[in-house]
Structures are given as structure tokens and as C-alpha cells.
Chain A
Amino acid sequence: METPAELKYAKTDEWVRVEGEFAVIGITDYAQEQLSDVVFVEVPFSIGDKGKKNTQCATVESVKAAADVNFPVSGELVEINDALSSSPELLNSDPFGKAWILKVKMSDPAELNELMDSGAYIKYCEGRH
């Protein structure tokens, strides 16, 4: 299981890459493995919308499941990854790179402290069934 060291992780399997005042958000390797082949990704928001931490920011659909992705930090939506609408399978092959889902301008960077670092996330995943 991949767990890039420079990212932050949420208990609900989202990752955050901090880029100054912006947070790039995606789902982890663990999450994509649980879902198996992803067939669809939907972000039910437009640029400019404001999202709150722990509320839904996207839906990822596979053949056997549909999962909600939550905002790991609050912020204003500034970019959505268009590549996922034509190639949702990127979420399986490159969850931390090409398959980033959206980018927000953080409204409260202190929320980052509530997330786990890669070591803590690995431990957390080991404890799950």
C-alpha cells in the first residue's frame, strides 16, 4: 500500500497535499483498493462553492460500491480535475498523482493539524479489518 510521506491523511481515506494556502485533495491507495475498478467520479459543486470539513465533496462509483469523498479541510473550490470524467480508472492506477480530485483555498489551515501524517495513517489502516 502506497502512502506518500509528504501528504496528510484523514480517517475517511482522503489525502491532502498542501500547496501554500491551497489544499489538493484525493483518495488513498487503501480507498481505491476497497472500491476496486472505479467507473465514475462526480463532484457536485462548481468553482467558487465553499465546502466544510467532513462534508461530502465528491462521489466515487465502482462496479460494486459508491463512496462519498469528504472535504478533509474546509475551503473554497478553485479547481476540479477534468481528467477524471473521461478516465475514472486513473483513481485506481494513480490515486496520488494524476487522479487528484479537487483543489481548495483553505479557509482554516489549522484544520491540517487534525489530520494524520503518513506513519499514523499506515498504523491506522493496519488496525482495520
Chain B
Amino acid sequence: MAEPTIFEISSAGRIGVKYPSPDVPETPLPVNFARDQLPLPELSEQDVIRHYTRLSKLNYSVDGGFYPLGSCTMKYNPRVNERAARLPGFASVHPFQPVETVQGCLAIMYNLQLWLQEISGFKGVSLQPAAGAQGEFVGVSIIKSYHESRKDSKRTKILIPDSAHGTNPASSAMKGYEIVPIPTDANGDVDLEALRAACDETTAGLMLTNPNTLGLFEKDVVEVIQIVHAAGGLVYGDGANLNALLGIVRPGDLGIDIMHFNLHKTFSTPHGGGGPGSGPVGVASHLVDFLPAPVVDVMEKGTEDMAPLYGFRSPSRTIGRVKSFNGHFGMLVRAFVYISMHGPDGLLSISKYAVLNANYLLAKLKPYYKLPYDRVCMHEFVLEGRWEDAPGVIALDIAKRLMDYGFHPPTNYFPLIVHDALMIEPTETENKQILDAFAEALIKIAGEAKTEPELLKTAPHVTPVGRLDEVKAARDLVLCCWIPELSSP
């Protein structure tokens, strides 16, 4: 049974949360500013709780099951993170309080900056960007400012591998760059010859995801970076796949100039049904001055008896402010607690087991699904969701059928360079039994595709709704609830 909307549950006159009457003498509101109609619902508190509880039960979530969405790193979200972020000394702090009163918040931010630097091999970090895409925008902006500072106006192009996430070219275009796609070679690496040919004095930089979106570690990553540097360009690292590299290799050591982190991927902050994320950016020493403002720094050094005094400062050649206030502090607390519970050995284990889990699953599925690039994978891998002897069955059908087996499907149709791609990322927090069950489901589905394809084409069958008409949704565009109050003649 479908859950009605809050407007449909509403009943005129019903009161929810009540507030006291004003305890001060009344000041009348000028009549020309008074609102006539406020078409919000009228619900009791229990209506609200019941409605949202019922809605929540229609959702699949990491808490509910295996969620192998490639490139999203849907790992378990530790509850202690939630408790820490809700501590009143964090949750009730105003961003504009005098610095002396928020030294705890600043200590968290300063130490997180240092830790992210240490993990990635960078010399400066800004915690401002709100999400990965914003981190990318910052990265491209820094590239632009860097070349402008050297009075090099010829650099108008950004090179982007054809396997890249859509946010890469979108972010570059926002800064006015022309995008030059670089093909992937038969081994799944960046095509070195194509890269060499594309690099010249018009190259501002390369956006590189490593491991790439195929889940493969760029074998010639050092050479790739050297080629771009030799042409005078910078290398931006898309850190979405960092879950494979913790304690394994540091992007800064390889020569990457700038990289964004996704705290909501690698560092376990929850995905929230679409956000909030957090996308800090790390840079090599020559770019530290360009970081977005503000960064946290030590204003007065500490002594044996006194902690250092932390404060905000604006880097000398900053690209500017990218959002209001201080970044997503609530997510920074979660990442800070997470890293503190792992330490260097724990972080290394994360990547080791993320990669072990992926390879284990890959080995089980290889006999049944085409693997376009047959190599050891990192934390994720991409299969083709189609078979010659199952004409008409596409990746979408496999994804929908997986839901009948109780699993969230992997990422579909990305990267674009693989036909009917299924991108699978198990993460390190899943145990062997779950991986076995998932592999078994996919193997069954591979069989069904040949013998009973209709089961896939009409899937899912056991979910609250079946496949929805997306064409109708786009053509008949209904983006708001029907609100009775607004419909009266």
C-alpha cells in the first residue's frame, strides 16, 4: 500500500509541536508584510513519526544489507561517529563564536588537516568543500589560479580520461576549460601515446582517477604524471577511490599535485540518502597558498602547559570562499573519530580487505560474466552485464533482478567505456558469507538470463513498486504534492 503524502495526511486544525506565547509586550507586524496563506500541512507529532517511519521501511540502506555501488564506497557507518557529532560541544557551537571559545572545534579541524596530509602525502589541506564535486571544482580552480599566477595564459585545456566520472568534465567546464578526452588502452590504463600526443603548452592539467573507474591501478601512473609535468601541466587526482590506497601508496608521493577526498566514501561518514558529503582538498607544497579560505592554523604555538591557540586564516593567494562558514564540520568530526579508531595499521587493513573482498568476488563471477579488463582489480571491478546467448537482456535487467534476491544493485552504466557496465565495490566491512551469497545470486541470474529472460525483463517483483515510467515522469513533470489549499478556485 502506498504511503500517502504529508499533505494527504494533514487535517485542518491539527496541531503538532506547540510553542509558548510570547513573554514580551507585543509589537504589531506591519500589515503589508503579513503573510495571508501558509499552505503547510497540519499534523500531530505521532502522525509525523508514523509517516516517516513507514517511509523509512520502503528504503534499502547499508544498515539493511549489502550495497555494492561501485565508486560510492558504501561501507558501514559507525554509530560512535553519530554520537560524537551530536555532542553539544560540537552540535551547538555557532560558527561565528570568538575563536577562544571554539578551540576544541579548531583542534579537530587542524588535526584532521594534518592526518589527511599524512595519509595522502600532501603539504596542505582545506576542509571547506562540501562534497567531492565541489572539491573537484576547487582543484580545477587552483590549477587555473596557479597558471594565471605564472602569467601563463596559453593553458586552456584539461585532459580527462574517457573513463572519468561525469563531475570531472563538468567541473572543468565550469572554469572555462576545453576538455580533451584521453582514451583508455586495451589493458584498462590511460593510453600513454595518446596522452603524450595531447600534452603541450596548452595543457593546464590532467584529471586522473587512480585506481581508475574500472577499479584498476594505473600501472604507469608515475610516467603519466611525469608526462604531464614535463609539458608544464598539473595533475589533479580524483580521490573517490582512495579506499584502495590507505597505507598502500600516497598520491602525493607519486607526484599528484592536488586531490580531493570524499569523507562520505573513504572515511565512513554516512551518505544520508544523497548527502551531506564532505570533499576536503589536499595539495602539494607549490599550491598551498591557493587553497580555499579559510584553513585552520596554529596562531600561537603551544607550550608544555598550554595547548596551541588555533585560528582561521586565508591562504595568501586563495581561490576564495566556496561556501559559507566552515565546511561541513559535523562530517569532519565523524571522519576524525573514524581515523582515530583506526590508526596507521587500521587504515592499512581497510584497503587490504577492500581489495581482497573485490578480488574474491571477481574470481567467483569471472566464469559467468564478461570481464573487459582481465587484471587484478583494486577495491572495485567492472563487469559487462550482457551475454551473446541472452539477447535482449541488458545490465538494467540484471540490476532489477538482483533486488528480488534482496541485494542493492551495483552501479549501472558507468564507466561509459564498458558496455552495459556493472561496477561492483563490496568494501571491507562485508563478510565472506555475504560475498558468497551475492555471488550466488548473480550466478543464478546469469543462468536465468538464458533460460527465463522474462524474469529479468519484468523484475523487480518483490519491491514496493515495480519499474517506474521514467518517460512519463519527464514528460508529465509533477514535482510537487497536490496541496488541497492551493487548488481551491
- Identify the A interface with B (CB < 8 A): 37, 39-40, 61, 63, 88-89
Contact = CB atoms under 8 A, between A and B. Distances in A.
A7 B471 CA distance: 30
A108 B471 CA distance: 39
Interface string B3-20: 000000000000000000
12 contacts: A37-B471, A37-B474, A39-B471, A39-B474, A39-B475, A40-B474, A61-B474, A63-B470, A63-B471, A63-B474, A88-B475, A89-B475
B471 to A, nearest CB: 4
A23 B49 CA distance: 62
Contacts of A61: 474
Contacts of B470: 63
Interface string B437-479: 0000000000000000000000000000000001100110000
A127 to B, nearest CB: 18
Interface string B140-163: 000000000000000000000000
Nearest to A89: B475
A30 to B, nearest CB: 19
A40 B475 CA distance: 8
Contacts of B475: 39, 88-89
A64 to B, nearest CB: 8
Nearest to A92: B471
Nearest to B474: A39
Contacts of B474: 37, 39-40, 61, 63
A81 to B, nearest CB: 17
A67 B166 CA distance: 15
Contacts of A63: 470-471, 474
Contacts of A40: 474
A50 to B, nearest CB: 23
Contacts of A88: 475
B420 to A, nearest CB: 13
Contacts of B471: 37, 39, 63
A39 B474 CA distance: 6
A88 B471 CA distance: 11
Give the 7 A-B CB pairs with smallest separation, nearest first.
A39-B474, A37-B471, A63-B470, A39-B475, A63-B471, A63-B474, A39-B471
